[in-house]
Amino acid sequence: MLLNGLWNFSFENGKSVKMQVPSCFDAAGEYYCKRGKAAYWREVQCGGYCELHLEGIGLRAEIFWDDKKIGEELTAYTPLSIRFDAGEKGVHTLKIICDNTIQETPESEFRRFYDFYGFGGIYRDVTIRELPETSFSYVKVIPADPFSGKVQLHIELDGPEKPITAKLSDGTTMKFPGAGDFEFSINDPKLWSPDEPNLYTLELTCGDDCCKTRFGLRSIESKNAKLYLNGKELNIVGVNRHDVYPLTGAAMPYEQLKADLQMIKDSGMNFIRGSHYPQSEHMLDLADELGLLVWDESLGWENPLDSLNNDEFIRRQKSALKRMIRNSINHPSIVFWGFLNEAITNDDSARRCIAELTTAVKAEDSSRLVTFATMMSDRDKCLDLVDIAAFNTYPGWYNGTYTFFDQNIIKAELDRIADFVRSTPELADKPMIISEIGAAALPGDHSGRRWSEDYQSQLILSTLKLIRKDPRYSGVLYWQFCNTQVDDNERIMMRPRGYNNKGLVDEYRKPKLAWHDLKKYLSE
Ligand code: ADA
């Protein structure tokens, strides 16, 4: 049962009003940019053993059923499932108290200095389901060898073991004795790829429970410092995308999400980095259908050493990664799992955290590649721990006093990074990408100086041309798809209008010159 709709709402125990779910109460209107505790509640008709699923809230939440606390969420944007006894069948009250105040403690996963706005509210779908005696608690479908159609299936059940019937969308029916690990093969397999995003559906039945999931047949590998998708060398060109829209904040309107992904697909790009938090099921479904590759990552932004060395911070990250992966594992579009954007990884003490998170990801899924985006360039001390060396760098933007675009600045930086990776023995065989690069542009400025559309466009295009000519690189992800709202932190004077203006399109998705030029270049 989808619980989206009008809920009761009260901010800081103030007057009770109606509020839409999903929504960000602080994205517009009366509570615009306000921070505090916001209670959302509604009646729900159900009973017995139930599962409540929250796809994403901000920034933290406590969850109550008939005034009894049944769970809490400490990490924004992260899917949470709670199995609990809902009592007698009838009308009950579900209350979710969201808190968007920012905690400046080492274990906190949202800090004021983050370069994106920390919205509050229930901003993704809420569902509840009554569970039968035996229910599916996890179904993982991994293409083991896409070319022969071999698939690995892992099933976990909650309740007494019962036999399982499986129906594939190609008409095949299979039987499994209960929970466990199985293998099956698809006849005449049709691979999933950006050019041909073929999908299969698997429908499982166990007693009174049913579970339907989609998957695709594709492989992703790293070999001799290159990336391979379905055995063919993969060159990435894409964008970093925040899941945000003016007036609705992190509660992304579905039609706009669809338009965003279609726009990215039509531009000729093949990749989206879901910066800097787990992507919604809606987003991943669309990426699967359109044939867009995705990097899905846990929440983080420049997390300092006192966080990376804090056991509670690491515990929360591991929990968030596990929940992200288990929620989204069957999407063929996801090829990289990531974590902690731009953490302070230029210190040996960061290694324990990065190693533990890598191990935690691989324990859930060893079929994809693991990475994090570093801002530490050749000072990074942790890149050997992950599969891909991914660099965020801003040549031609943050430093220097030049006026007009100079390609040599970009070339020197790309060479410097590539020389470092290829001359470091522990990194020499890792694929290398630029995970962020870009420049801000204010729409309408055509002066050719920094902040102009022309300057941004020159930087974007010349980066792509340089990367495509350099066999050491496997691709580039631009910062960023659209302009995004930021908080009033110490960076605000570099963020005109309270926005990070490095979007290739503005916050309403109106293309800047760079978008048109890039699209034209890719089509040629
Ligand atoms: C970083 C960061 C982004 C954004 C960007 C910028 O690389 O990962 O989130 O803040 O810089 O615009 O400076």
**pLDDT, tens digit, 9 for 90 and up, residues 195-228:** 999 999 999 999 999 999 999 999 999 999 999 9
Q: Which residue's alpha carbon is at the smallest distance from atom 1 of ligand 1?
A: 392
500 lines ligand 1 (CB under 6 A): yes
* pLDDT tens, position by position, 227-269: 999 999 999 999 999 999 999 999 999 999 999 999 999 999 9
CATH number of the domain enclosing 170: 2.60.40.3080
Identify whether residues 304 and 421 lie together within a single domain.
yes
Contacts of 66 (CB under 8 A, 6+ apart): 87, 92, 93
342 lines ligand 1 (CB under 6 A): yes
Q: Which residue's alpha carbon is at the smallest distance from atom 3 of ligand 1?
A: 115
Identify whether residues 403 and 466 lie together within a single domain.
yes
State the average pLDDT over residues 300-318. Answer: 98
297 lines ligand 1 (CB under 6 A): no
Are 505 and 517 in contact by the 8 Å Cβ rule? The answer is no
Distance of CA 480 from the midpoint of ligand 1 (Å): 9
Q: How far apart are CA 170 and CA 168, in angstroms?
A: 5
User: Which of 479, 481, 487, 502 to mutate for ligand 1's pocket (most ligand atoms within 8 Å of CB)?
Assistant: 479
Q: In terms of Cα–Cα distance, which of 175, 197, 201, 196 is closest to 186? A: 201
* Domain final position from 108, 130, 152: 130
User: Which of 459, 486, 500 to mutate for ligand 1's pocket (most ligand atoms within 8 Å of CB)?
Assistant: 500
Identify whether residues 279 and 225 lie together within a single domain.
yes
Distance of CA 115 from the midpoint of ligand 1 (Å): 7
DSSP 228-263: EETTEE--EEEEEE---BTTTBTS--HHHHHHHHHH
**Residue type for 131, please?**
L
Identify whether residues 14 and 139 lie together within a single domain.
no
Identify whether residues 42 and 140 lie together within a single domain.
no
* pLDDT tens, position by position, 481-516: 999 999 999 999 999 999 999 999 999 999 999 999
78 lines ligand 1 (CB under 6 A): no
Identify whether residues 125 and 145 lie together within a single domain.
no
374 lines ligand 1 (CB under 6 A): no
The pLDDT mean for the chain works out to 98
pLDDT of residue 34: 98
Tell me the CA distances in angstroms from 86 to 8, 50, 93, 208, 506, one per residue in order: 20, 6, 10, 19, 45
Judged against a pLDDT cut of 90, whether residue 87 lies above it is answered with yes
- Domain residues for 187? 135-217
Q: In terms of Cα–Cα distance, which of 491, 520, 489 is closest to 504? A: 520
Identify whether residues 496 and 366 lie together within a single domain.
yes
Q: How far apart are CA 516 and CA 329, in angstroms?
A: 34
User: Which of 392, 399, 433, 490 to mutate for ligand 1's pocket (most ligand atoms within 8 Å of CB)?
Assistant: 392
Q: How far apart are CA 83 and CA 63, in angstroms?
A: 12
Number of compact structural domains in the chain = 3
Distance of CA 301 from the midpoint of ligand 1 (Å): 9
Identify whether residues 202 and 324 lie together within a single domain.
no
Q: Which residue's alpha carbon is at the smallest distance from atom 7 of ligand 1?
A: 392
- % of the chain exceeding 90 in pLDDT: 99
pLDDT of residue 475: 98
Q: Are strands 37-46 and 60-65 parallel, antiparallel or unpaired?
A: unpaired
Q: Which residue's alpha carbon is at the smallest distance from atom 9 of ligand 1?
A: 115
pLDDT of residue 399: 86
Are 474 and 433 in contact by the 8 Å Cβ rule? The answer is yes
pLDDT of residue 400: 86
Identify whether residues 393 and 349 lie together within a single domain.
yes
State the average pLDDT over residues 46-73. Answer: 98
Question: How many Cβ atoms sit within 10 Å of the Cβ of residue 241?
Answer: 24
Structure token pair of residue 481: 């798809």
